Amino acid sequence: MRLGIISALHEEQAGLVEAMRGPSRLIHGMRDYVAGQLWEIDAVCVLSRIGKVAAAMTATTLVEKFGVTHILFTGVAGAGDKTVQVGDIVVAESLVQHDMDASPLFPRFEVPLTGQTHFQPDAPLSMRLVGAAQDFLELDFLDAVGEGERRAFGLARPRVHRGLVASGDQFVNDRLRLEAMNGALPGLVAVEMEGAAVAQVCHELGVPCAVIRAISDNANENAAPDFMRFVKSIAAQYAFHITRRLCRDLKEAPLQPRSDSAGT
Ligand code: ADE
């Protein structure tokens, strides 16, 4: 396997490139791709920057130019529901582009001419990710996130959620807007700006992907400062330890090849 690891921002992936064995760097399409071994897994790390186009471009390049066989998106998101709290972790079960609306030509949220509103990440890879996230919370969390930060962010007992992740070219910082999204998208657990674009690219190219997000804010009026604080001091710890656990698990028990390769 060759694992492509995408995050939007440096702070969401800090430490991974430094942990790489034998890193080699290549600039392509105004992005730095760093290939090497992460805990004995062949990997390519890259920052996509923010938004769906940036993420789609990055995912496509990882597959077409760097030959990755799987893609992991790791970063932060706003809570999509009241049961989801800052510090919790969301592993996408399904992804939708919440700003896609070509109605009345096509149903709202449908990506025109695909017949799909929702894109599914790879179930086996996502299950491994859930395991890595749960182990992180149980075994690493108290050491990785200092007491001061846990107190400042009110992180008591963070949990792992699975559910619908909605992506759009919009930072959601409005309670009413989030409520409207909740009404239109049942099962919503997180809002962010890249995951569904990566999921669509991976679906079309037949490459398994998974999306994990640490919740940085409540997508309300306080979202921007909450997001900035979380990204600065906590996000990298989540990404580093969860990716470390995932890579070790994948090394110990490799994923079975998929039989339904849809791409090419
Ligand atoms: N990423 C983190 N928080 C977000 C929010 N509130 N809206 C969109 N993307 C986000």
**Among 77, 113, 70, CA closest to 95:** 77
* Ligand 1 in reach of 231 Cβ (< 6 A): no
257 — pLDDT class (breaks 50, 70, 90): confident
How far apart CA 60 and CA 49 sit, in angstroms, is: 14
> Residues 6 or more apart from 196 whose CB is under 8 A from it?
52, 95, 96, 97, 119, 165, 166, 167
* Ligand 1 in reach of 44 Cβ (< 6 A): no
Ligand 1: centre distance to CA 116 (Å)? 24
pLDDT of residue 264 exceeding 70: no
Average pLDDT over residues 61-86: 98
Ligand 1: centre distance to CA 126 (Å)? 21
> Residues 6 or more apart from 180 whose CB is under 8 A from it?
none
Nearest ligand 1 atom to the CA of 217 is 3
Average pLDDT over residues 148-173: 96
**CATH 3.40.1050.10 correct for 74-252:** no
Q: DSSP of 176-225, one letter per residue? A: HHHHHHHHHSTTEEEEESSHHHHHHHHHHHT--EEEEEEEEE-SSTTHHH
* pLDDT for res 113: 97
CA 87 remoteness from chain centre: 15
* pLDDT for res 228: 95
What tens digit of pLDDT does each residue of 196-225 get? Answer: 999 999 999 999 999 999 999 999 999 999
Average pLDDT over residues 70-98: 98
Tokens representing 89? 């972790």
* Ligand 1 in reach of 226 Cβ (< 6 A): no
pLDDT of residue 261 exceeding 60: no
**Among 51, 89, 74, CA closest to 216:** 89
Instruction: Check 93, 217, 226, 249 and give the catalytic one.
Output: 217
Ligand 1 atom 4 nearest Cα: 78
Ligand 1: centre distance to CA 254 (Å)? 33
* Ligand 1 in reach of 5 Cβ (< 6 A): no
pLDDT, averaged across the chain = 96
Q: Specify the pTM.
A: 0.97
* Ligand 1 in reach of 77 Cβ (< 6 A): yes
Give me the residue spans of the domains in the chain.
74-252
Q: DSSP of 21-36, one letter per residue? A: EEEEEEEETTEEEEEE
How far apart CA 108 and CA 46 sit, in angstroms, is: 32
Q: In what helix (H) or strand (E) does residue 38 lie, and over which residues does it extend?
A: strand 31-38
Helix, strand or coil for residue 166? strand
